[in-house]
Amino acid sequence: MEGKFNKLILITTSLGAFVGPFMSSAANIALPTIGTEFSMNSIWLNWVTLAFTLATAIFILPFGRLADIFGRKKLFVIGMAVFAIASIVCGASVSPVMLISARAVQGLSYAAVSVTVVSILTSVFPAGARGKALGLNVAMTYIGLSVGPFLGGVLTKYLGWRSMFFIIAAVSIFVVLSLISLKQEW
């Protein structure tokens, strides 16, 4: 049972580490299409990216403290759930303000995810297996950054820029549902 439990934790935290960097890099590729659809100038387009990054940077430290107080799993699950909702709102945006606001909420929620991932892994995996788990997790972060521009471009070209937000929302919902079934807290 513990092996299955550890694999589920590794998969869900790795997907959690993947979604933020992926959205950060994939959204950049869609900016010209988004700008055309909403008639946005370069200043507004910059805020589509900056809202995510700025919100993540601002909330990392407070969420680290909240994870210590309320529990890492709880904050991770809440962060992923809010990330999923914000991704759906991004995909359904009808105005630049709505998109930028949803991107800020995405960044805020990703801050909750990013500060809890490593601490969950170090709590779950014993010292001998911890390096492998952390290595895979870090690899997923960089895979997200690396494949974001390519997959974002493919999705934008063939399915529209909104599709990347809906797909990441589905991944986030999978992570939330997987972790809710676990009774453990770290």
Gap between the Cα atoms of 68 and 48, Å rounded: 31
Q: Is 116 exposed, middle or buried (0-12, 13-18, 19+ CB in 10 A)?
A: buried
Res 143 pLDDT > 50: yes
Stated pTM of the model: 0.93
- The mean per-residue pLDDT over the stretch 72-92 comes to 96
pLDDT recorded at residue 2:
62
